[in-house]
Chains A and B, each alone.
Chain A
Amino acid sequence: MLTESEMESRLHDELKAAVAAITPDDDFMRSALSHRPRQRWSRPRLALGAIPIAAGLALALLVFVAPTTVVHQVKNRPTVLTVKLLGHVVRLPMGDRVVSSSDSSCQAWLGATQGTILNWAFPAAVDDAGIPNATSTGQSNVVNAPDGEQSCIQSSISRAYSLPPGITATSPLVPSGTGASPITVDGDYAETVPTSVQATSPDGSSSTTQGTLLYVRVPVSNGQFQLVTVVGWAMPTSEVVDLASSALTAGNTGTTGSTS
């Protein structure tokens, strides 16, 4: 009788011997050798042709983005681009730029000196009493924004006012026939209107581009409202709305003043 250890040793030998005669035939080996190992892939390498492209992009960023945005570098956090809107710093959506390209509408004001004036058709506005007025026009000294920021979006918020008789929280803000589209911004009644924006430099030269006006009727205390006005250009209407929404979410009550 074999011990377990002896059995193990013998089984090992016998198994080896038993299967020794089992050999792969030629067809099997041909098939086995026909397999090809999959290529290993290197780490991504910068292609030579990409160098000029990268350099061009870097130059474009320096020329067109850097002067027009505020870059907030938070330690150990990624850099974020922001604009100041309604007195609040609003983070730009990832991938969006304030100035989109070398021929963007913002370029007209790049390097503009202090005193450059923006004008846009104002299909509705508020007068000193806070009453919407269809005959006003808007005006802003866009290049004098705080911190040297110069972006393709400007904003203002009116004093608090009471709605005149016959006007409700959801009454139209803009006269019909101006292309206004009613929407809501954070639940508040709003309208977007296509408009043109004209920049006039102190030397008299001017440039005009298309933009979007956004009005939001924001309820405040005592049944009063404030009218938020945002004008944006070189960006889609949806982005103007998103940025305004972010600014309003950050808090807009009690702010009074002219275009920032």
Chain B
Amino acid sequence: MFKRIPERVDDREFRCFVLEAAPILLRAAVMMSRDRATAEDLVQTTFVRVARRWATAHEAPLAYSRRVLINLARDDARRLARRPTVPLLEEHLQLAASGDTTGQVVDRLMLLEAVRELSEPQRDVIVLRFYLELSVEETSKLLQIPEGTIKSATSRALAKLASVVSPDKLEPIQGGM
């Protein structure tokens, strides 16, 4: 007697979200996973889950997908903890498109490798705070870790990364992205 009628969902809204979020999520996933293939799988799985829950996610899809990706990456990292990390290959960074010098590319590869070699909590904190630009509070909520722990993890991670972020190691940033 009573019918539940599907409401029209505008696919364009979801497609726009995918176009906007794909590079952001993929870059975050590369930093948090063993290799680029794994990162791509994580992001695709994230999109599948967001699509499945679009009714809920569509109000803040990027925040929703960030949370899904973080959870997937952490699950994946735990599941495959014993497997060695595959070094990022230069072609993954698509050198030809960047226009950077060889020295800059190498230094930035070192930075990414250094980030990936951090402990899981430190790595997640670095990615969330310094790539996805979340505040300490937002990072704390997303990772469900106290803010004090976020700050101390940040300090320890920065200390480990100091050697690859120091001014004499990297060329000055010119023009950003």
Contact = CB atoms under 8 A, between A and B. Distances in A.
A35 B3 contact: no
Interface string B137-153: 00000000000000000
A33 B48 CA distance: 10
Interface in A2-59: 2, 4, 7-8, 10-24, 28-29, 31-33, 35-47, 50, 53-54
Nearest to B14: A37
Contacts of A39: 6-7, 9
B56 to A, nearest CB: 10
Interface residues of B toward A: which range? 35 or more
Contacts of A50: 1-2
Contacts of A22: 23, 26-27, 30, 36, 92-94
A28 B130 contact: no
A37 B58 CA distance: 10
B61 to A, nearest CB: 10
- Grouping DSSP codes into helix (H, G, I), strand (E, B) and loop, the B interface class, with mixed when no group exceeds half, is helix
A37 B9 contact: yes
Interface in B70-128: 92-95, 97-98, 100, 105, 108-109, 111-112, 115, 126
A155 to B, nearest CB: 37
Contact of B177 (A16, A36, A44): A16
B19 to A, nearest CB: 8
B5 A41 contact: yes
A35 B51 contact: yes
Contacts of A35: 14, 18, 47-48, 51
B29 to A, nearest CB: 9
B6 A40 contact: yes
Interface string B11-41: 1011100110011001100110000100010
Most buried by B among A21, A37, A41: A37
Contact of B1 (A24, A28, A53): A53
Nearest to A42: B5
A216 to B, nearest CB: 41
Nearest to B28: A19
Given A11-B165, A24-B23, A47 B177 contact: no
A44 B4 contact: yes
Contact of A15 (B53, B95, B111): B111
Given A14-B170, A21-B95, A47 B165 contact: no
Given A12-B130, A13-B176, A14-B165, A44 B55 contact: no
B26 A28 contact: yes
A41 B44 contact: no
30 contacts: A8-B130, A11-B130, A11-B165, A13-B176, A14-B170, A15-B111, A17-B176, A17-B177, A20-B27, A21-B93, A21-B98, A21-B100, A22-B26, A22-B30, A23-B94, A24-B26, A28-B22, A32-B47, A35-B51, A37-B14, A37-B52, A37-B58, A38-B51, A39-B9, A41-B4, A41-B7, A42-B4, A45-B4, A45-B5, A47-B3
Nearest 4 CB-CB pairs, A to B?
A: A37-B54, A18-B108, A19-B27, A39-B6
Given A28-B22, A39-B7, A42-B6, 20 more contacts: A7-B158, A10-B167, A11-B158, A14-B111, A17-B108, A18-B112, A21-B93, A22-B30, A23-B26, A29-B18, A32-B43, A35-B48, A36-B51, A37-B55, A38-B53, A41-B6, A42-B4, A42-B7, A46-B3, A47-B1
